A and B are shown apart, each in its own frame.
Chain A
Amino acid sequence: MDNIILCVEGYAKQFYLHSRQRLIPSAAQVNLTVRAGQLTALIGPTGAGKSSVLKGIYRTYLPSAGRLLYTDAEGHTLDLALASEHRILELRQREIGFVTQFLHCLPRQPALDVVAEPLLTRGVTREAARQQAAELLERLAVPQRLWGVPPATFSGGEKQRINLARGLIARPRLLLLDEPTASLDTATTEHVIALIEEMKQDGVGMIAIFHHPALVERLADAVVELSPPDMAVTDQSIEHIA
């Protein structure tokens, strides 16, 4: 039990759209556990709220219900749903990483620096950070001619690998992965799998959404199946609010 780093109990998320005066359900009744060095896979049909769970944990979404109990590096347990914004920012910088499907970065920053940035904010020197970034890009088979170029013009698969490298470089304790291989070919996917396995061995706990069931089979230590949140319940809650 002592290696549990995240325990989600009864997470739910719904959006209230003021312009339509409507509640939009996004996820309901989600329970899951993540252990250090293990990967928990989220599966379920589109609309089941898989990304919503990851965003709730990262606090990009404000959870509507449930507890998200995270045990930090010092062994303190806190509810991510209630933690202060400064505490969340600090955890994002040091402990919790998120690889999304989209890359937001400064327009003129070269790919190498985009990847190295999380290390810079942790106080690693620019040279050392660039060195590590280069090693990671090498392993992910990103052609060296792209390293000095801003990723804005990259292909989907290239951007995704930049995003992945940026998420992995700081070796977070908890890593959230939203379809990290969606636009990659088979060979590149194998590089990513090798990296994920290595991270697991290093003790990183992960929650991942994968496009292919085969990846779940190969990488997941636990599987959590989500079903779309119940619309009937939501209709009631709409009446409730109105």
Chain B
Amino acid sequence: MSRKILEVTNLTKIHGDGCPLCLESTGPEADTNICPHCGSVVAAHGVSFDLYQGEILGIIGESGSGKSTVVKTLYFDDAPSAGEAVFFDEDAQYDLYSLNAAQQRGLRNKRFGMVYQNPHLGLNFNVSAGGNIAERLLMSDVAHYGAIRERARSLLVRTEVLENRMDENPKKFSGGMQQRVQIAKALATRPPLLFLDEVTTGLDLSVQAAILDLILEIQHELGTAMIVVTHDLGVVRLLAGRTLVMKYGRVIETGLTDQILEDPQHAYTQRLVASAL
């Protein structure tokens, strides 16, 4: 059996001061993620799962379900309010939220990759496409100019960005092309773990298909473990072996993706699947 790469236990994120009634007053049964007593937002609570090497895990849910919160806390964009996450690297393991800022930055720059829905979050629009990749390589201690340029070039070719646009600013690129540059940048350090947050949302259908193909090809070639956050059931059907379903900050169901889609257990998942087909 392949190796476990990530173990998340009871991850919780509350925006606001919180009060003793927050947790019991929010969630799917309460039909809200805003605490009626103190106004804090319980973005995620009690989220637990394992991820194995080379596995693609889907997280589905509507806006406000907390699905993006999960990957943002794992990528250190956001600090969790409670919970643990252990990353098992090749020869070491890291308790993510016990690390200091420099150690967290190290993992983020070298061992994790993130592709955001909004390219402005993932790309630096003040430098060229190639420069974006170079930035990430420099942060992970690759310093030889020629080597960096060659690696940037091969990554952009791999993600099907035209080579002769390498020196252009990604500001001028189409949405699909910007996502390709983000993917190339995320992959620059060959991270074993990649987070994808609604990466195909808002793109034309044909562009979406091409990006999904690319993601799956990469997973085959590099064996990268991925967490794919999406509201699109078609995306998890094509990409993910297992899927978590979230609502109002809680995981309400988890299972093999085909089982979630064909034999959903929870009332909410049944509604979600029925409304998509």
Contact = CB atoms under 8 A, between A and B. Distances in A.
Interface of A: 15, 17-19, 55, 58-62, 85-90, 104, 106-109, 120-121
Contacts of B50: 86
Task: Report, nearest first, the 9 A-B pairs whose CB atoms are least far apart.
Answer: A18-B267, A107-B209, A61-B263, A60-B258, A106-B213, A89-B241, A60-B262, A108-B213, A85-B242
A42 B84 CA distance: 48
A139 B233 CA distance: 35
Contact of A19 (B55, B242, B265, B267): B267
A17 B270 contact: yes
B212 interface: yes
A63 to B, nearest CB: 10
A60 B257 CA distance: 8
B210 interface: yes
B271 A106 contact: no
A120 B256 CA distance: 21
A90 B238 CA distance: 18
Given A15-B263, A19-B267, A106 B256 contact: no
Interface in B196-241: 209-210, 212-213, 216, 220, 237-238, 241
A102 to B, nearest CB: 11
Contacts of B1: 86-87, 90
B242 A109 contact: no
Contacts of A89: 55, 241-242, 256
22 contacts: A18-B266, A18-B267, A18-B271, A19-B271, A55-B263, A58-B258, A60-B256, A60-B263, A62-B263, A85-B242, A85-B256, A86-B50, A88-B256, A89-B55, A89-B241, A90-B2, A104-B237, A104-B238, A106-B238, A107-B212, A109-B213, A121-B220
Contacts, number: 60
B210 A108 contact: yes
Interface of B: 1-2, 50, 52, 55, 209-210, 212-213, 216, 220, 237-238, 241-242, 254-256, 258-259, 262-263, 265-267, 270-271, 274
A106 B220 contact: no
A55 B270 contact: no
B203 to A, nearest CB: 13
Nearest to A87: B1
Given A55-B262, A85-B241, A90-B1, 7 more contacts: A18-B267, A18-B271, A59-B256, A60-B258, A86-B50, A108-B210, A109-B213
A19 B259 contact: no
Nearest to B274: A19
Nearest to B258: A60
Nearest to B51: A86
Contact of B259 (A60, A87, A106): A60
A62 B265 contact: yes
B36 to A, nearest CB: 26
A62 B259 contact: yes
B171 to A, nearest CB: 27
B200 to A, nearest CB: 12
Contacts of A87: 1
A58 B262 CA distance: 12
